[in-house]
A and B are shown apart, each in its own frame.
Chain A
């Protein structure tokens, strides 16, 4: 009996009878179910991991933050409208105004145990509170006899001369002196006054605030970066927020804690004399603000611009080169041992760790080609200031990194074009280039583009090679040319997560969301381009 006549040998003797499956069928079904289950588990596991990642990022990006300002905005405005001095110099302040009948000194009553000679003391605000304000009026003042809180408020809002308040008062200018204390009495009082906030201050006023509050050394440093007089109002405002208002983040809370432990957070804020506010760390301001040492005021503008610059160089350098090489290898080179050697090498290069490319970039672009990458050859900087740690070096290094990937995906896309199409083209007597230009490339473009863009989005997320070639970690000035120092988003994120302060982890999470969005946009572009290229094909 042959194999095909012995039906029992392959188990196909009779149709299974009645309700009973044969054990064979049952086993087959169990096996199928096990495989399906395993595949489903792996999918669910993958989804779970991705969800956890996203949850973590989102959890840190939004949430309550407890902030205490060093100087409240109202106080800054208040002080801007008056003379200001600090507690330890109150005696000077008193000496300064002594004898000036047009001055009023306002300070915490704690700072003056008794009304000094030559002054009249007028209690201001809540008289029963332990900490209260006192206004000191020189006794030489003959008209301001009944100063109270209402009148003080009027003084704050008045013009610059006493006569603006009451026509029969002197025409001399009002000279208000506030003495800032460490207990926040003045701050709290100022917060209750109906004063405009910082947004209402003009450029000159902001400049004045900075000049009053910042040390001379700091002012000089800022002036060197960019002359104060040339700075925009937004820039000055940012400086005031960072250096004068100096918000101090006492604690930050995750989105989850913010939702379930709201009461506790509020209580904590009150006990610290601070404000708890729900904050999105990811805001428009976060995108457009430059870096800052203060997490709450820091933005990713410079990192984002750096990333865009670097990736532009990468694209310009590696995409044409990679596609060109792919076309040559697939359509023009012959398949001999040399061609195979080249291909094997390219495949291996695609697997080389990115840090190795960083070292390559350091040696070639940063060191050997300093003259070119620093721009000193083109007169961008003087030769003795030349540094190769520039956007150009970074872009070229990342270009080298993704070049093999672009070549390989390009080759695959070109190889997927059926030979029958090439034969058809050669059959009417076209040259190799005509065949490539008019038939192979149009067919391969979607695949080539997809590969190239995926490679580019990999470059967008690379950190290690850029650390090696020396990306700066703190850049507060926009990169404006190829030869600028730079930082990029992943490095910014890395650097922020390494900071000990909790709020830096929040902005790191927000930056991660921005990076993810950027990658999403890049990949969506790939899909769109592919669909477009495919629909243009008839």
Chain B
């Protein structure tokens, strides 16, 4: 398969996800067309682009979250560890366990902080020390010190930024390979955003992260690779325009549409 990366800049660690000829329909609406994208392992890949270009849609195809939308239809393939996750025998539950997700709006379970983190591991039959797992997960998202005395309180009692970190802790508590983040900072204030961004950099050492963001500065600050999506104005169909190392995309974009977008003349 031809690499989308120019000049052999593919990282040594290989690719965690490989999407080829990926298309998404919502009923008759062709939402995203023909995406070929490789997500490098243990790197942060940012997906940017104007509203309605299918960024979130593509992200959700990576862990079959679109299965929950009745009218959604996916064509093409997404390979993960050599398996097409859209293959006939693949259990979407298993896919989502390995490819976790953090959503735009912080959505902790209406349960205790402890239970928020522990629940995922419990349903997967985690046999180890649950308290230790919760503590480690919370430490990794730098939330432990703030919540260690109120683990039995509701996850919803936390501030927005804390809630989002709790959601990340919840995602990593089931020990996934990949964490998908759908505009994780869009509902947060700048300080909380900064916390999450630092956290993402820390987590990248251990997880492959794909983050959708509206915020180009954020993409530039945190990501190693950037994929720029655009929208075909007649059909409103999203398409992948360009992907590459973040520095190159921001310094010398090859496609004029990318250039227009990152210099603020578009969208």
Interface residues of A (CB under 8 A from B): 334-335, 418-431, 434, 438-439, 442-443, 537-538
Question: CB-nearest residue of chain B relative to A432?
Answer: B93
Which residues on the B side are within 8 Å of A422 (C-beta)? 68
CB distance from B176 to the nearest CB of A (A): 8
CB < 8 Å neighbour of A427 from B70, B100, B105, B111:
B100
Residues of B within 8 A of A443 (CB): 110
Contact pick for B100, options A428, A431, A439, CB 8 Å: A428
Query: Given contacts A422-B68, A430-B93, is CB(A538)–CB(B110) below 8 Å?
Result: yes
Q: How far is the CA of A434 from the CA of B94 in the complex (A)?
A: 14
Binding site for A on B (CB under 8 A): 63, 65, 68, 70-71, 93-98, 100-103, 105, 107-112, 119-120, 123-124, 153-156, 167, 170-171, 173-174
| Cβ–Cβ contact B70 & A420, under 8 A | no
Chain A residues within an 8 Å CB radius of B155: 538
Which among A421, A428, A431 is the interface contact of B120 at CB below 8 angstroms?
A: A428
Residue ID in chain A nearest B116 by CB atoms: A424
**What chain B residues lie within 8 Å of A426 (beta carbons)?**
65, 68, 96
B111 touching A538, Cβ below 8 Å:
yes
Indicate if the CB atoms of A429 and B174 lie closer than 8 Å. Answer: yes
In the complex, the answer to whether B174 meets A428 with C-beta atoms within 8 Å is yes
Q: Are A537 and B110 in contact (CB under 8 A)?
A: yes
**Docked complex Cα distance between A318 and B100 (Å):** 39
For A424, the chain B residues whose CB sits under 8 A away are: 103, 107-109, 167, 170
Q: Which residues of chain B come closer than 8 Å to A438, judged between CB atoms?
A: 119, 123
Cβ–Cβ contact B107 & A423, under 8 A? yes
Chain B residue contacts of A538, Cβ below 8 A: 110-112, 153-156
User: 11 pairs across A/B with beta carbons < 8 Å?
Assistant: A334-B70, A423-B65, A424-B108, A424-B109, A427-B171, A428-B123, A429-B93, A429-B100, A430-B120, A430-B123, A538-B156
Measured between beta carbons, the chain A residues less than 8 angstroms from B111 are 538
Given A426-B96, A428-B171, A537-B110, A420–B120 Cβ distance below 8 Å? no
Which chain B positions have C-beta within 8 A of A439? 109
Q: Is the CB of A335 within 8 A of B123?
A: no
A427 to B123, CA, bound (A): 13
**Nearest A residue (CB) for B172:** A428
Counting chain B CB atoms within 10 Å of each CB, which of A423, A427, A538 scores highest?
A427
Residues on the A chain within 8 Å of B119, using CB: 428, 438
Q: Let me know if B153 and A423 touch, CB within 8 A.
A: no
Q: Which of chain A's residues have a CB closer than 8 A to the CB of B154?
A: 538
> A429 touching B120 by the CB < 8 A rule?
yes
A537 to B153 CA separation, bound complex (whole angstroms): 11
Task: Give the residues in chain A near B68, CB-CB below 8 Å.
Answer: 419, 422-423, 426
